[in-house]
Amino acid sequence: MKFIHMADMHFDQPFSGLGGTGNLGDMRRLEQRKVFRKMIDYCNQNKIDFFLIAGDFYDHSYVRKSTIEYMNQLFQEIPNTKIFIAPGNHDPYVKGSYYETFAWCENVHICKSNLEIVEDSKYDIYMSSFTDFHQEESAVEKIQIKHPEKINILLTHCDLNGARDENGFSYQPVSESKINALGFDYVAMGHIHKTNFEQQKNLIYPGSPISFGFDEPGEHGMIAGEFNGRDLKTEFVRLDDRKFEKYDLPVDDIFSKEELIEKISNLQLDEKNLYEIVLQGNRQFEIRVREILPLIEAKNILKIKDKTQIGIDIEQVAKENNLRGIFVREIIQKYQEGTYTEQQIKKAIEIGLEIML
């Protein structure tokens, strides 16, 4: 039996956090469709039996009916592949959702509850879905496998060993040790956008098929697997042609805005990838990121982050018997009087000394 496992496509996600200029969000939404087409073609070319979708297939708040129709149209192109969907926290099975109201094609099976079992002669698929946008508990850990002689697969959107997020919410947290103890041959999970394929044997997050930003670096794609008897062989299949990369740029030997812009513009970067330039080291002048980014010629540089520190020896400058020294001594006195914070003092000195150059 052959299967593919994907999760967290988030169709129609607005990509509002990418930054940059132009129609980047539209571009990435088109690339989502391109990646999904690759999955459908893979199913046809490799005669895939099961297509496992572990939640967040679309974004409930943004998805359009035309996108749902597009998904369903492609599903119709693989009639011999059984498609199983376990909705997640961004696309829960709720009243009025497209999972409930849309007429999906016959080979699509959508889990409507916290626990459902689809039985086959040789394989049983256990599915657990979100039926709300926040789900504090999971039914998964209470599962008792009915037919241990079969190949048993669990499909769920969950937070493995998860804790509450910054808003106090949890998303079907499950214990790795308890899941392992249940005896599933493969656990197809969603929710985490980075794959754990290299660290796990059969308790797998495929990661999102495409990256959504600089906090999701590396390759993105899906898992392809095959059972021969009880033997399981899996591989990670890259689908996203782009990567989000961070590039560290030392600025210690750069002495002006113009020089910095020239340095960034001349970087040898992969044209396919999208970049965040992280400025490091000791700066010799005030860096205003908002002024610099629009002047960069390379349009695949979306962000510039300033992580530099002031590169001026303030104590040494304060000893100088000139205007610079007088200025720094006056500013230091203001700090000692408690008028300004240390950060404000450093910024004032940096701007003042730059003007005196």
Q: Which of 212, 238, 264 is the last residue of a domain?
A: 238
What's the confidence (pLDDT) of residue 343? 77
Q: Mark whether 312 and 296 lie in a shared domain.
A: yes
Token couple for 199? 């660290």
Q: Indicate if 164 and 295 belong to the same structural domain.
A: no
Q: Tell me which residue has tokens 């985490």.
A: 192
Q: What element of type H or E holds 29?
A: helix 24-46
Average pLDDT, stretch 23-27?
Answer: 85
Domain limit, last residue, from 215, 238, 261:
238
Number of domains forming the structure of the chain:
2
Is the model's pLDDT at 357 over the cut of 80?
A: no
Q: Check whether residue 48 and residue 195 sit in a common domain.
A: yes
Q: Please tell me the predicted confidence (pLDDT) of residue 168.
A: 64
Last residue of a domain, one of 238, 256, 279: 238
CATH number for the domain harbouring residue 69: 3.60.21.10
* pLDDT bucket at 320, cuts 50 / 70 / 90: confident
Give the confidence band of 19 by pLDDT, cuts at 50, 70, 90: low
What whole-number percentage of the chain has pLDDT above 90? 69
How confident is residue 17, by pLDDT bands cut at 50, 70 and 90? low
Phi, psi of 49 (to 5 degrees): -80, -45
Q: What is the pTM of this model?
A: 0.85
Range of the domain at 335: 244-355
Please state, as a whole number, how many other Cβ atoms lie within 10 Å of the Cβ of residue 101.
Answer: 10
Q: Half-sphere exposure of 232 toward its Cβ, with a 13 Å CA cutoff?
A: 19
Q: Are residues 313 and 179 in the same domain?
A: no
Query: Do 114 and 24 sit in the same domain of this protein?
Result: yes
Q: Torsion-angle region of residue 171: left (phi > 0), alpha (psi -120 to 50) or beta?
A: beta
Note the pLDDT tens digit of each residue in 212-226.
999 999 999 999 999
Are residues 177 and 47 part of one domain?
yes
